[in-house]
Amino acid sequence: MTIDVLAEDLRPGDLLEFSTEHGTQILRLTFVERRIHGIKFMGRNHEGQLYSSGMQYGRPARCVQPWALAPARR
């Protein structure tokens, strides 16, 4: 399950759904920096690859609920 939040509400540890030229990645944010015109963030996907990008303030960011990624309990 995903929720939309504003870019300025992103925090380290959030799971961000991030579109790249290779498809959509789920990143666990490791760094979020507030700048004058927006934010810069870095995060790693499940394979450990590092991604870095930015967003303008007021833009929607799609976050994944952590429990949605957990394996089903039986």
Averaged pLDDT, groups of 10, the chain, 74 residues long: 90 91 90 95 94 94 72 49
Task: Return the pLDDT at 71.
Answer: 55
What's the predicted TM-score (pTM) here?
0.80
Domain-located, residue 35? yes
From residue 71, how far is each of 15, 67, 68 by CA, in Å?
16, 9, 8
Residue 74 lies in a domain: no
Per-residue pLDDT, 58:
94
Domain span including residue 7: 2-69
Query: What count of other Cβ atoms lies within 10 Å of the Cβ of residue 43?
Result: 24
CATH of the domain at 48: 2.30.30
pLDDT at 73: 47
